[in-house]
Amino acid sequence: MSHKKHNEKENHNLKKDEEKAPEAPNPSPDDELNQRIAVLDLELAETKDKLLRVHADFDNFRKRMSKEMKDMRTAIKADTMVPVLNVFDHFNMALDAAEKKPDFNVLHDGMKMILAEFGKAMNELDIKVLEVVEGQEFDPNIHEAVSGESSEKYEQGKILRQWKHGYKMADRLLRPAVVVVSSGSKISPSAEIENVTEDKENIQGI
């Protein structure tokens, strides 16, 4: 048998094998649907896992932030109380001295010492006393008017006197200064009658 005939025979056999090989069946709609459902189930499981991880991370973050805020508040309280404790110590020292030697001068010196310690504590905490002077213009942003009184010296809206000091910490108002404000000059009833009479006379004379 020649080489050419041999190749022709092999090609003929390959064609027969290809004709005999069964064709792959096309997937049915149900098979495609089930396959799609399986893919979606897998994606859903992965999404749930990611969501659980994110939720756990956020919960840990929230707990950590809560602890840090609590620690920060405690630290702020501690820093605030240190200067106050010095004042408390000096108050006890002054009280002990007054009990051992009940003398006005001893008590007076003790009170001045406590006041000085209060001043130091306020400086450490950056607390300033609001300066209020007689005749100053009333400012509702830093003043609180407890009452109004007539005044021949100051016009309406001027401060007559201070009842309580006001305080600021840096730019924050801790407490407004409580003041008495002038309501202007007070005119007596007889003076009002005289003014009305003069006005009538002036009108009649016109």
Q: In this structure, what token pair is assigned to residue 155? A: 């016009």
Supply the pLDDT for residue 80: 84
Q: Is 127 strand, coil or helix?
A: strand
Supply the pLDDT for residue 200: 43
Supply the pLDDT for residue 199: 47
Consecutive 10-residue runs of the chain (206 residues): their mean pLDDT?
A: 53 54 65 85 91 92 93 88 86 83 82 88 90 94 94 93 92 94 73 45 45
Supply the pLDDT for residue 163: 92
Identity of the amino acid at 66: S
Supply the pLDDT for residue 191: 45
| Angle 149-151-153 from CA coordinates, rounded to 5° | 150
Supply the pLDDT for residue 103: 82
Supply the pLDDT for residue 7: 55
Q: In this structure, what token pair is assigned to residue 23? A: 């064709």
